[in-house]
Amino acid sequence: MLKGGVIMDVVTAEQAKIAEDAGAVAVMALERVPADIRREGGVARMSDPGLITAIIEAVTIPVMAKCRIGHFVEAQILESLGVDYIDESEVLTPADEEHHINKHVFKVPFVCGCRDLGEALRRIAEGAAMIRTKGEAGTGNVVEAVRHM
């Protein structure tokens, strides 16, 4: 379903519609770029549910949203909003440094970032449906993501 296309980061419903019209296969709903939030000393959390709902209503392509590592309540909220995928994301401030979410108890598929095969296998054992390389969103540092391939 997502093969052969771009998953575009968007911060408004209007951007999501533009991305869909331009051929994106999915959008990632973000309130702000997590790297900017952390640079300002803040805690990067799940995006505002109202924003996510507006994006879901604006497009017909899949909508993804990020939750913090280990924060199962954020994942429950995202599932109840009706997102198509949940990204348990390292770019947000972790809620639990040791334990990731048990993804088997959710109906919505999870996407997780990995640096190596061992990490990928651990995320799959937890129930991840899709694996991606890790990078630092918003920095433009492609080398960091490629290094983990």
Closest Cα partner for 98 from 70, 121, 74?
A: 70
Which residues form the catalytic set?
66
Contact partners, residue 143, CB within 8 Å, separation at least 6 = none
Q: At what angle do helices 72-81 and 49-58 cross, to 10 degrees?
A: 30
SS3 category, 133: strand
CA angle 81, 88, 137 (to 5 degrees): 105
SS3 category, 62: coil
